[in-house]
Amino acid sequence: MSDAQPGSNPAIWESEQTHPEQCNNLREALREITDPEIGLNIIQLGLIRNVKIDEDQAIVRMILTTPFCPYGPAMIEETRQRAEKALNLPVIMDLGLEPWDFSMMEEGLGEWGLY
Closest CA to 71 of 39, 98, 46, 94: 39
Q: The pTM is what?
A: 0.89
Q: Identify the band that residue 3 occupies on the pLDDT scale cut at 50, 70 and 90.
A: low
Determine whether 17 is exposed, middle or buried from the number of CB atoms within 10 Å of its CB (0-12, 13-18, 19+): exposed
| Structural domains counted in the chain | 1
Q: Is residue 67 part of a domain?
A: yes
Calculate mean pLDDT across residues 48-59.
96
Q: Is residue 44 part of a domain?
A: yes
Give the CATH number of the domain where residue 23 resides: 3.30.300.130
Calculate mean pLDDT across residues 19-47.
96
**Residue 109: per-residue pLDDT:** 62
Q: Is residue 31 part of a domain?
A: yes
**Residue 107: per-residue pLDDT:** 82
Residue 46's region, left for phi above 0, alpha for psi from -120 to 50, else beta, is left
Rounded Cα gap, residues 114 and 24, in angstroms: 26
Calculate mean pLDDT across residues 38-47.
95
Strand, coil or helix: what is 27? Answer: helix
Q: Is residue 96 part of a domain?
A: yes
Half-sphere exposure of 10 (CA within 13 A, CB side): 10
Q: Is residue 33 part of a domain?
A: yes
Q: Is residue 105 part of a domain?
A: no
> Who has greater pLDDT, 31 or 110?
31
Q: Is residue 64 part of a domain?
A: yes
Strand, coil or helix: what is 92? Answer: strand
Calculate mean pLDDT across residues 55-67.
95
Residue 108, pLDDT above cutoff 90: no
- Domain carrying residue 39: 15-100
